[in-house]
Amino acid sequence: MSTDLSSSDRLAAKLRGFGPLGLLAIVVILAGAFFPPLAAILALVWVWLSRTPWREIGYVRPQSWTRTIVIGIAFGVAFKFLMKAVVMPLLGAPSINQAYHFLAGNTAALPGMLFVLIVNAGFGEETFFRGWMFERLGKLLGSSTWAKIFIVLFTSALFSAAHYPTQGFPGAEQAIVTGLVFASIFAVTGQLPMLMIAHAAFDLTALAMIYWDFETTVAHFIFK
b (16+ CB within 10 A) / e for 148-185: beebbeebbebbbebbeeebeebbbbbbbbbbbbbbeb
Look at residue 7 in the predicted model and tell me its pLDDT: 86
Q: Amino acid letter at 138?
A: G
Q: Percent of the chain at pLDDT above 90?
A: 87
Tell me the pLDDT band of 1, cut-offs 50, 70 and 90.
Answer: very low
Are 54 and 47 spatial neighbours (Cβ–Cβ below 8 Å)?
yes
pLDDT tens for each residue of 92-130: 999 999 999 999 999 999 998 998 888 998 999 999 999
pLDDT tens for each residue of 121-176: 899 999 999 999 999 999 999 999 999 999 999 999 999 999 999 999 999 999 99
pLDDT tens for each residue of 15-35: 999 999 999 999 999 999 889
